[in-house]
Amino acid sequence: MPLALSVIIPAYNESKRIGDTLRDVHAYLEKSYLDRYEIVVVDDGSTDATCAVVRQMATIYSTVMLVASLQNRGKGAAVAQGMLAAQGDVRLFMDADNATTIRELEKLSPFLAQGYAVIAGSRALPESVLLRHQPRLREYIGRMGNWVIQRLLVGGIEDTQCGFKIFSREAAEKIFSNLRTHRWAFDVEALMRANAYGFRIKEVPVVWQDSAQDSKMAHIRSYLSMAHELVCLLPLRLRLVTQQPHRRYAA
């Protein structure tokens, strides 16, 4: 019997948080999916004890699997690696800091039965709940970035960057086998490709809270890196738009 669900968690220097996140995910899925799930942690070349923590957790929970990279390649590369290593008919990626918990799966998964192949968690819809906001400057920069993304790359999605998205097996394998953006803007490319390939996309409000620890995105170099990646996506957008005769987004 095929796996019902694969949960992909990209991790880079997350030794302090990954254990708690894995315990939370396992506790929820043990009741919901029994033995028909897997949790795939993709270590993106961590320099701390992330791999050791995950290996220890794997001795406790047989559903936990570690995929380790020798070098840091970026979150997008880690998610793609996990999506392609996964075996589930449904594949969810979520962040290692548990900002959107596995419980939000209950809101997103019903849309698969309605024919949506990509369901994106969103912090920007009226029904979204933000328990702890980002610092004001980061929120402002995020809104500016989203304004650019909406107009130049992916229209119709209010929040492309929320780290909680579901893909069907078919969508995951086609999108992530072609993904070329390895770092912060990979969500944008994934949604662009989903639309161009004809996969229906649904955006769903979630409960989210900013991590109490400093985010890796807070560093100015990360913002500059994402801006560079967005510019590099413009030629791809022009190529894909010829394959996308009409919009397939849904509110």
**Can you give the pLDDT at residue 105?**
95
**Can you give the pLDDT at residue 137?**
58
- Is 249 part of a structural domain of the chain? no
**Can you give the pLDDT at residue 134?**
60
Alpha-carbon distance 232 to 235, whole Å? 7
Identify the domain containing residue 169 by its residue range: 5-243
- Is 38 part of a structural domain of the chain? yes
Encode pLDDT of 93-131 as tens digits: 999 999 999 999 999 999 999 999 999 999 989 999 987
For the question of residue 214 being annotated catalytic, the response is no
* Residue 224 or residue 101, greater confidence: 101
What total of structural domains would you count in the chain? 1
- Nearest Cα neighbor of 194 from 235, 144, 160, 145 is 160
Alpha-carbon distance 87 to 59, whole Å? 20
**Can you give the pLDDT at residue 2?**
66
Q: Is the pLDDT score of 214 beyond 60?
A: no
- Is 134 part of a structural domain of the chain? yes
- Is 213 part of a structural domain of the chain? yes
| Catalytic, out of 95, 187, 210, 214 | 187
- Is 40 part of a structural domain of the chain? yes
- Nearest Cα neighbor of 60 from 89, 43, 39 is 39
* Residue 34 or residue 95, greater confidence: 95
- Is 251 part of a structural domain of the chain? no
CATH number of the domain bearing residue 71: 3.90.550.10
Termini Cα distance of the chain: 33
- Is 250 part of a structural domain of the chain? no
**Can you give the pLDDT at residue 89?**
95
Q: Mean pLDDT highest for which of 74-78, 216-220, 242-246?
A: 74-78
Stretch 173-185: mean pLDDT, rounded? 93
- Is 116 part of a structural domain of the chain? yes
